[in-house]
Amino acid sequence: MTAPSYTEWRPPPALARHVACTWAGRMGPAGETYVRRVLPDGCVDLLWDGALLVVAGPDTGPVDVVRRPDGFFVGIRFRPGLASTVLGVPASELLDLRVDAAEILGSEPAARLAERVGGAAESSLPAAAVALAEAVAGWLPRIAEPDRLVEATVAVLGRGVVGRPVGSLADALGVSERQFHRRCRAAVGYGPKTLDRVLRFRRFLALAETRPGAGLARLAADAGYADQSHLNRECARLAGATPARLVDV
């Protein structure tokens, strides 16, 4: 079977605050089905698979997605904590789920968007990604302001420079721990401790990609894990695999 292709594009400037990227993937024209393991990243995706428009909620573990021969996917990936504002639904209601977009956007708006993206896909997948981005950009003037506390939390945890228990961030941000957890859960899908685990895991993967051969102990330390055993446990929980299977070390 021809190797599957996958490409990401930066969002247009108007979407940069809310969107991490647009993306598309296509399978080869023949062969067996291909299973791709999707790993947690704190994001929510709105995607079109040629037949259905779907919202993929934030994951807390690995998800195996079947890719069929000659199939394709095109999507837009919202930054952690921003999808709930754009889609108008708490991210906690999408946790570990794949939902028909009609349940969130409404039947008619979802059908119009599917027709628009599907029509563009007949030309090319990049054109379909542009159509999806343009549609989302059209929603922005009508949406609520994102939760700045959650945005600040994602920024701090993403850098991995907390230097204190995650729960103590509530004091630093001037809110109670209960409110902190509630607002994170509504915007991201889960609380700040889980968000910290997911972002640290993604930091490990990013470091491994840019530092081939660095060794797991070094990567674990630089990503913010207590030690390599800590990294092993988190990879098992979040990816269902050992670190060595996830990266080329």
Predicted confidence (pLDDT) per residue in 183-229, tens digit: 999 999 999 999 999 999 999 999 999 998 889 999 999 999 999 99
Per-residue pLDDT, 188: 98
Fold of the domain spanning 148-246: Arc Repressor Mutant, subunit A (1.10.10)
Residue 215: partners with Cβ closer than 8 Å, 6 or more residues away: 249
Per-residue pLDDT, 27: 76
Per-residue pLDDT, 85: 96
Question: Percent of the chain at pLDDT above 90?
Answer: 78
User: Predicted confidence band at 163 (pLDDT cuts at 50, 70, 90)?
Assistant: low
Tens of pLDDT, residues 1-30: 455 788 999 999 999 999 999 999 887 676
Rounded CA gap, 43 and 53, in Å?
17
Tens of pLDDT, residues 138-155: 999 999 999 999 999 999
User: Predicted confidence band at 66 (pLDDT cuts at 50, 70, 90)?
Assistant: confident
pLDDT > 90? residue 159: no
Per-residue pLDDT, 1: 44
87, amino acid identity: L
Give the residues across from 63 on adjacent strands: 38
55, amino acid identity: V
Q: Tokens 């504002």 — which residue? A: 85
Task: Tell me which residue of 132, 70, 71, 124 sits closest to 105, measured CA to CA.
Answer: 132
Residue 154: partners with Cβ closer than 8 Å, 6 or more residues away: 42, 79, 80, 81, 188, 195, 199
For the chain, residues classed under CATH 1.10.10.60 are 148-246
